[in-house]
Amino acid sequence: MVSVKQVQITFDCAKPERVARFWCEVLGYVVPPPPEGFDTWDDYTRTLPPEKQDAGFVCSDPTGVGPRLYFQRVPESKVVKNRVHLCVRVGTGLVGEERLAALQAECTRLMALGAVRQRVLLADEENESCIVMQDIEGNEFCLD
């Protein structure tokens, strides 16, 4: 039986590099170096046929622990809620007002990058507080 060792999360989007750089800022991820023989990603992109230029972009966890993120250009825009979303774990181990303050601080930072806050879900008997947000192309994610 084969055991999965890594996972990549793929985002469909209109502007792959823009969305990738947003998520780099959110998660502390980095853009990998361009392919061998190229000084920059722009140099590499110019060698591609026009329909392939700016069609995809990658970012990855510099520690190698988190999943690789791939952003691919698609012609259609987002129309319904995501079936899968990322939970950005900024409040792990925190409860009550301390957790809510940490979530609000991160929400403020991400809004400055272009994210949109949708709603705050306050703690109940089963769940701690979280904030539902959208990235710069409207993809839902949670601050958890």
Task: Examine the domain organization and report whether 13 and 66 are in the same domain.
Answer: yes
Whether pLDDT at 83 is above 90: no
pLDDT of 34 > 80? The answer is yes
Contact residues for 110 (Cβ-Cβ < 8 A; gap 6+): 26, 133, 143
* Confidence (pLDDT) at 80: 83
CB atoms within 10 A of CB 49: 7
Where in the sequence is the domain holding 90, given as residue range(s)? Answer: 86-143
pLDDT at 65: 92
Phi, psi at 84, each rounded to 5°:
-130, 140
- Together in a domain, 109 and 63: no
| pLDDT value of residue 94 | 92
C-beta separation of 107 from 119 below 8 A: no
pLDDT of residue 76: 87
The model carries a pTM of 0.87
pLDDT at 33 over 80: yes
